[in-house]
Structure 1
Amino acid sequence: MGRILILNGSPRAPKSNSKRYAGLFMDCCKADYCDITKTNHRELCAKVGAYTDLVFAFPLYADGLPVTLLNFLKALEAEPPQQKPTVSVLINCGFLEYAQNHTAVEMMALFCKQNGWPFGSVLEIGSGEAILDTPFRFLAAGSIKKFAKSVKEGRYASFHTTMPLPKSLFLKASTAYWTEYGKKHNISKEQMQTMQIEQT
């Protein structure tokens, strides 16, 4: 049986949804887990060669990879292990449409192709900021179960899921959530709609 390592590439890894998704993965099959930080790149680069499978869990950032993950991939490119595990991707985005993740997945596939890493399974999750805290959690959990099984058995495939809601309803619910969230931090809806939000 192979060995699986999950690396969390979220900029807020310890408190991220990616960590919650990784937890659901580990409920389905045995795996080791590490957060990617600014200071552990060399440690992780030295570690990954001991595994048969490497799962990157991360959120979509500006239609691409978060800088936390990008910086680690640069280090991995410079210090690759002698034996390269198969890379699989578990990505989530705040958009309702899981297809918003496609470009980031293609970036990961390109990295693997250019650097000689086998590319494995993919799970794209839409509405990733919300789905785990709704009655639709079972859809994410079920997809992760299938994804985990494919990695564990080496039968790599692509999967996707999102909340089965009309876009108008999703937008209404998400607007209400973020407006209420802003109120808790003394930020108005109008302030959140400006480019100067970090200056308020």
Structure 2
Amino acid sequence: MGKILILNGSPRAPKSNSKRYAEIFTRHCPDETVYQNITKRNHQELCAAMEGYTDVLFVFPLYADSLPVGLLNFLKTLEANPPASKPVISILINCGFLEYEQNEVAIRIMHFFCRRNGFTIGSVLMLGSGEAILETPFKYIAQRNIKRLAHSITNKDYRILHATMPLPKSLFRLAAQSYWTRYGKKFGTTKEQMQTMEIEGK
């Protein structure tokens, strides 16, 4: 049996969708799992802890077609302080776009890091519509693919997986517009403000 360290690289890890995805993974994973948030102050601790795991699963959202800055900073520390026994690195990434392919640049960055530093890449799950899917009737699609991810890591049958909501783009845009308008209203921000740079001052 393996032992999997789940590292949440979301900037708002304690309240993130990434945390919810990690919880689903843990429920479906036959192997022992340990969950940790990546923070500004625990980089060295997490690098040292990797020594005791067969696999590490990075769970994080897409940020501007790349990795969250906190995760990038952690990878710099990991590059300088690699464990003697390197675990297999797997990835669960989600983006707010309907198209899961938006995650591919970030995945290439992770692949490059692993090749450069001698880590083996395991399984990858790219989720589209990751901000919303768990609140819709399509949540089973995310859950099913996270279960597949968990079993692929446990069985060492590493693979690339992807999923998104089966919606036309036009309908997804309408739903997204409605969601963000209601979300902004909750915090006193109008749709017009969200369409300008005024939102930066909120």
Alignment TM-score > 0.5, same fold:
yes
Q: What secondary structure sits across from 1:127 in the alignment?
A: coil
Deviation at 1:195, TM superposition (A): 2.1
Alignment of 1:144-159 (within 5 A): 144-159=146-161
3-state SS of the aligned residue for 2:192? helix
Q: Give how far 1:196 is off.
A: 3.0
Structure 2 regions of 5+ residues with no counterpart? none
- For 2:25, the equivalent position in structure 1 comes to 25
RMSD: 0.7
Count of aligned pairs between the two proteins: 200
Q: TM-score, normalised by structure 2?
A: 0.98
1:167 to partner: Cα distance:
0.3
Report which stretch shifted further, 87-96 or 22-31.
22-31
Mapped to 2, the partners of 1:92 and 1:183 lie a distance apart of 25
Which one-letter code corresponds to 1:68 in the other structure? G
Aligned equivalents of 2:192, 2:155: Cα separation in 1: 50
Amino acid across the alignment from 2:127: I
Name the amino acid aligned to 2:162: H
1:1-200 to 2 correspondences below 5 Å: 1-29=1-29, 30-200=32-202
Deviations 1:157-185 (A, max 9, x none): 01000000000000000100100111111
Offset at 1:198? 1.7
State the TM-score, normalized to the length of structure 1: 0.99
Matched residue SS, 1:196: helix
Q: Following superposition, which runs of at least 4 residues in structure 1 exceed 6 angstroms of deviation?
A: none
Query: In 2, distance between residues paired with 1:152 and 1:54?
Result: 12
Q: Taking every aligned residue pair, what percent have the same amino acid on both sides? A: 62
SS at 2:79's partner residue? Answer: helix
Amino acid at match of 1:175: Q
What amino acid is the match of 1:27? R
